[in-house]
Chain A
Amino acid sequence: MSTLEIRDLHVSVETKEGPKQILRGVDLTITSGQTHAIMGPNGSGKSTLASALAGHPKYQVTSGTVTLDGEDVLAMTVDERARAGLFLAMQYPVEVPGVSVANFLRTAKTAIDGEAPKLRTWGKEVKEAMGNLRIDSAFSERSVNEGFSGGEKKRHEILQMELFKPHFAILDETDSGLDVDALRIVSEGVNRAKENTDVGVLLITHYTRILRYIKPDFVHVFVDGRIAEEGGPELAERLEEEGYDKYVGAAAPASV
């Protein structure tokens, strides 16, 4: 049983005009097995939260804490966070030319586990996971994300989530740009990981569509860099009907 605890998190991003405050005091606690959906309009800071948790150098934490079972996550380097059990499925996965998927997966798995995976079982495990996500086995020899379609990139992210078995997975708009078939395949992957590993999931999304496939335990509405409202799955249903208008309208004066 693990706990990821975010307390009063303030994050700014470097821009040409100087640092710009994006997160203005986020509080959130996730434990193993839970799924938290973070919803909100564009520009509300959802993706900033994801990047800041993973340690992207563009984002500066100006105050607040993030702990994983009491360990200070913010003091860790990007790779240390991943090895501690955090996983970020990226909104825009990066191409790495000349590095094959097979080599990448094995290298990452070795780094995360601290030892190389057993050759025979690893091969089988990868093959099976790829099959479940309808990823052609020829992908193993392709360069990471190079020439992948949008859907292929997202399935490749979830493939990693299934293989690396993190304690907590942050899914940054994994659903955006996916057609219904791809969305279902990706969602099945996330649900398999939840079943098999008791992973805690932070599901960042703009739309309610994915919540039909991945059931959240909690829904948080992000507005202007902080959580404006929280509730159970019923909150998502309300958002589906009402949209974000009421939050955006209410938040506008506060941000001045």
Chain B
Amino acid sequence: MTATTDLTTDHSRAVADGAHTHSPGAASAAPQGSRAERLTSFSLDDIPVPTGREEEWRFSPVARIQPLFDGGLVTAGADGSGVRVTVEAAPEVKVETVGRDDARLGRAGKPGDRTGVTAWNAFTEATVVTVPAEATPADVTSVRFDGDQGAAAVPSAAHVLVKAERHAEAVVVIDHAGVATLNQTVEIDVADGAHLTVVSVQDWADGAVHTSSHRARIGRDAKLKHVVVTFGGDVVRVTPDAEFTGEGGEVEMVGLYFADSDQHQEHRLFVDHAVPRCKSRVTYKGALQGSGAHTVWVGDVLIQAEAEGTDTYELNRNLVLTDGARADSVPNLEIETGEIDGAGHASATGRFDDEQLFYLMARGIPETDARRLVVRGFFAELIQEIGVASVEERLIASIEAELEKSMSVITGEADPATETDAE
């Protein structure tokens, strides 16, 4: 028996503009009812190829993801995959390539959708990144996936496990560039008392199709900062799940995305409060520009009956810069106990505010610079929250590059290189 309650719903700033759907409760959005009842499994037989009508696929371009639904994916990094996997580790951090029978794999949750289960069954070798107990490396550890032109035609699978042992503190960045058709699992294991930051950057070139199941388990008094940044690729669908396994755990999930014409960027999150006194904060912000740009954000939070003292808040904001773009935003909050500290969500999708533009231009600032200021401002606070300087700098540069594109749309110039604004 599940009671579904919205404790707080801040819709005061939501803008009804047609390009926005918003289901305030799990009961209305999820035909199959509670998120807790959704099937998870390691078996391909249990989770069939979706038709696109399923709750978890209803916003997705399933035809474009089709190659990743079938078995027979090549392991990324293997000969012929067209994907190069490079790891640059901090000195204290251990990196291994292991077979799929390694006992450490498959311990953080189970796949919850078709691409998740396909990825799990496809890989032959996995990359395991271990931050040893009590190690606090100063350097960032990075795992890069680079796809070459041929990689788009070779659907591939990848499995990464990031393990922070007891009281370790580290930052791991997973990077994606080039072109690939990649189905990926990222397991994140944060042991008791550890503080781990995992950043996943989808900086793909045009033509890339990428699905990724992130599954995190967060131990007692452990803290995970989980950052997702999506800029490039034709279709990117990231589904981060976070599960608390001990009291006092904390997860901060931050996401930032920028969709251009005909890009589909989907982020589906699930935070499972299964134990008492844990805290979760979800903040995702996205900008959209160009016809056919489509973003989807779904944030499911489940507070189970035994999770007393839970404190959770999730927020999604979308900024629609041009006509023809669509942002879907669906926060779902299920609460099975009344003994909680706080629970809430907010979602708003708004068009670019012409009054802001007028105010800035009335101070002599040219339109392109004014738009840039507003969009930068929209993301500014979130970027500061990431707390990894190298990632922040890259992000600011990527936002600038995205804005160059929108300026060419606005000014009607085909070639953004003709922009003369000095930065």
Contact = CB atoms under 8 A, between A and B. Distances in A.
Interface stretch (B84-92, B156-164, B368-376): B368-376
B359 A94 contact: yes
Interface in A45-80: 54-57, 77-79
A88 B363 CA distance: 8
B357 to A, nearest CB: 9
A54 B366 CA distance: 14
Contacts of B380: 98-99
A168 interface: no
A79 B377 contact: no
A82 B362 contact: yes
Majority SS at the chain B contact face? helix
B363 A164 contact: yes
A96 B362 contact: no
A226 B353 CA distance: 31
B393 interface: no
Interface residues of B, number: 24
Contacts of A108: 360, 363-365
B379 interface: yes
A111 B377 contact: no
A99 B362 contact: no
Which interface residue of A79, A112, A164 has the most chain B CB atoms within 10 A? A79
A97 interface: yes
A107 B373 contact: yes
B101 interface: no
A83 interface: yes
B287 to A, nearest CB: 12
Contacts, number: 76
Interface string A182-213: 00000000000000000000000000000000
B363 A111 contact: yes
Nearest to A94: B359
Contacts of A95: 356
B376 to A, nearest CB: 7
A78 B369 contact: no
Interface in A99-139: 99, 103-104, 107-108, 111-112
Contacts of A88: 362
Contacts of B366: 79, 111
Nearest to B359: A94
A96 B379 contact: no
B376 A99 contact: yes
B367 interface: yes
A32 interface: no
A93 interface: yes
A82 B379 contact: no
B377 to A, nearest CB: 3
Contact of A82 (B355, B363, B373, B378): B363
A90 B359 CA distance: 9
A83 B354 contact: no
B108 to A, nearest CB: 35
A50 B198 CA distance: 52
B361 A79 contact: yes
B399 to A, nearest CB: 12
A143 interface: yes
Contact of B377 (A82, A94, A96): A96
B361 A82 contact: yes
Given A96-B377, A98-B379, A107 B369 contact: yes
Contacts of B381: 98
Given A99-B374, A99-B376, A99-B377, A94 B356 contact: yes
A104 B355 CA distance: 16
Nearest to A92: B355
Nearest to B373: A99
Contact of B364 (A56, A98, A112): A112
Contacts of B354: 57
A232 to B, nearest CB: 31
B358 A94 contact: yes
B378 A97 contact: yes
A160 interface: yes
Contacts of B362: 54-55, 78-79, 81-82, 88, 90
Contacts of B360: 96, 104, 108
B358 A57 contact: yes
Contact of A98 (B355, B365, B369, B376): B376
A79 B361 CA distance: 5
Given A56-B358, A90-B359, A94-B355, A143 B377 contact: yes
Nearest to A89: B362
Nearest to B382: A98
A90 B362 CA distance: 10
Nearest to B381: A98
B318 to A, nearest CB: 14
A249 B243 CA distance: 72
B363 A98 contact: no
A83 B363 CA distance: 8
Given A98-B377, A98-B379, A107 B365 contact: yes
Interface of B: 353-356, 358-367, 369-370, 373-374, 376-381
25 contacts: A57-B354, A77-B367, A79-B365, A79-B370, A82-B362, A82-B363, A90-B359, A90-B362, A94-B355, A94-B359, A95-B356, A96-B356, A96-B373, A97-B378, A98-B378, A99-B373, A99-B374, A103-B373, A107-B365, A108-B360, A108-B365, A111-B366, A160-B363, A164-B363, A164-B364
Q: Which 6 A-B pairs have the closest CB atoms?
A: A98-B377, A82-B364, A98-B380, A108-B363, A111-B364, A94-B359
